[in-house]
Structure 1
């Protein structure tokens, strides 16, 4: 898009240059408009035809200016056109490679919308070694995502065929961060109608739409304005709690993180109590909560028993916690 605009701008500049030079010949040499225009064209193109009228010393100096400036503009336009053609060809090749890469992706995260929030989400997930695929319609944002090395599709995320191209049936999570709540609602509905076993996360720009998004199938809905307001209030009322949550949310601030593990039938934790699991002894992990059948149990006692299907939330040193989580996935 920028390359096309540059070519158009240079072409307009060349047209203005021709008009100014034509007027210059008319003023300096008192030439007719047609003769002055013809003289300008043969000077710029350097075709070597005879002069249309005798040139005065001032006219010859002016002609030198016309030739040098005109050639510079013509070469700039030619260069921009060639560059655009080469770039278009390269994009076509990369596009085919991208589609091939998309067809091989699985267990990835699809992010619809690469605005400010989409950029941060993609970066953070990538830092956690998760593979992200971006859907973005805006050409400028599409180019930004492409420059940062993400697999990206320039398309409308509300269309089912686009979601199919993104390997939505092989993805683990779909995140809708489109620029309007209406688009987010429509996209979540589209994914839900495909009857996929996938985690759905959506943004609600208007907090009033949070319930609507949950009602149509989004498991997690983020309302940035509401969350920001609550954080400000908590920073006033409970500043130390906010500091603790920052530490837990950003492991780089302190070697401490929250992690969730799923208890499977074959899990070595299945049937063990919190005390007998030795999570604290082996991994320095604190069991913060257990989610069972949709209900959260905070600070479970030492005699609480883990059963298959439980989601256990642990707090502890980053490396050890992740090692514990990895062991449960094996």
Structure 2
């Protein structure tokens, strides 16, 4: 039984004892209900007050029984109350300590500022990947929800330096600011860029004209959920098959097809090979849709003689197991080509 239920049960037991004592004195001694209640309370509490009336032999026997049960019930109630208070505080302290240790161990993670509707969807996608991330949220109720879901979070204002530092911004790979206010997103972007000049920052824009301000503040990319939603709805009517294909390839459902980007590390066997010699298509059935060269635009539909260099990002289309294997090889794992 958890401490809260145990405490409620002890209160119920104590109430039954007091009620039984009141009724007992009324029946055994013939006292009025209030005097019987008073006698029961001072007996259960063992305060040592004198009896309000002389007790008969039957009343003395009843008092002995009441003292035994009453003192035990009162001690049990006080014990469960102390346990409830101490365990609750210890659980909160120890839980927060454990959370802080996990946050301190984060490296190469993402910071999500804002746990509203957009922020919750982002966290769901990150969790499905999965990738390490932490949420910065100012609302206490949303922080309780994060705690219940077992997600890492920092309670505070993301526009403040100390809050982002607690979220490990110095070791973060990227930051997403998704609060509802565009002005707050601008402040968060300015603060984050000042603390980590090399970090990728993705900002949410709700109003027209905010995109320019967010980019001036230091955002690498600005996304407007309303614009994206309107565009997707229009394409769903005009190009339904294309939209269905994109949803299948980029969705988080356990489907056969997956569209993914894979970065080639220097230790990978892919570095220095061409698309033809790497046998990516032949061995794994993966289509290389495009290649982003380091600092350059995306090369779409690259030819078979295109050279794969360390630092390139391959935009791939294929089955999930094959994509996972290619990710392993691209990160420096043993090659099967």
Shared fold (TM-score, shorter chain, > 0.5): yes
Counterparts of 1:66-105 in structure 2, within 5 Å, are 87-105=88-106
1:80 CA displacement: 9.8
Structure 1 residue 320 corresponds to structure 2 residue 328: no
Residues 207, 223 of structure 1: 8 Å contact kept: no
| Matched residue SS, 2:253 | coil
CA distance, structure 1, for counterparts of residue 179 and residue 206 of structure 2? 10
Residues 289, 313 of structure 1: 8 Å contact kept: yes
Which residue of structure 1 lines up, in the alignment, with residue 313 of structure 2?
311
> Greater CA deviation, 236-245 or 288-297?
288-297
Residues 259, 322 of structure 1: 8 Å contact kept: no
CA distance, structure 2, for counterparts of residue 88 and residue 188 of structure 1? 36
> Greater CA deviation, 81-90 or 160-169?
81-90
CA distance, structure 1, for counterparts of residue 207 and residue 83 of structure 2? 46
CA distance, structure 2, for counterparts of residue 109 and residue 86 of structure 1? 33
Name segments (4+ residues, structure 1) moved above 4 Å.
45-49, 79-86
Residues 207, 226 of structure 1: 8 Å contact kept: no
| Matched residue SS, 1:302 | coil
Unaligned runs of 5+ in 2: 1-33, 44-48, 50-79, 333-337
Which residue of structure 1 lines up, in the alignment, with residue 219 of structure 2?
218
CA distance, structure 2, for counterparts of residue 252 and residue 145 of structure 1? 23
1:287 CA displacement: 0.9
Unaligned runs of 5+ in 1: 1-38, 50-78
Which residue of structure 2 lines up, in the alignment, with residue 127 of structure 1?
128
Shift in alpha-carbon separation, 1:266–1:99, aligned structure 2, 3 A: closer
Give aligned pairs, total: 269
Structure with the greater alpha carbon radius of gyration: 2
Which residue of structure 1 lines up, in the alignment, with residue 192 of structure 2?
191
CA distance, structure 2, for counterparts of residue 275 and residue 103 of structure 1? 44
How much is the aligned-residue C-alpha RMSD, in angstroms? Answer: 3.1
CA distance, structure 2, for counterparts of residue 266 and residue 320 of structure 1? 20
CA distance, structure 2, for counterparts of residue 307 and residue 100 of structure 1? 38
Which residue of structure 1 lines up, in the alignment, with residue 182 of structure 2?
181
1:111 CA displacement: 1.2
TM-score between the two structures when normalised by the length of structure 1? 0.72
Shift in alpha-carbon separation, 1:195–1:106, aligned structure 2, 3 A: closer
CA distance, structure 2, for counterparts of residue 202 and residue 81 of structure 1? 48
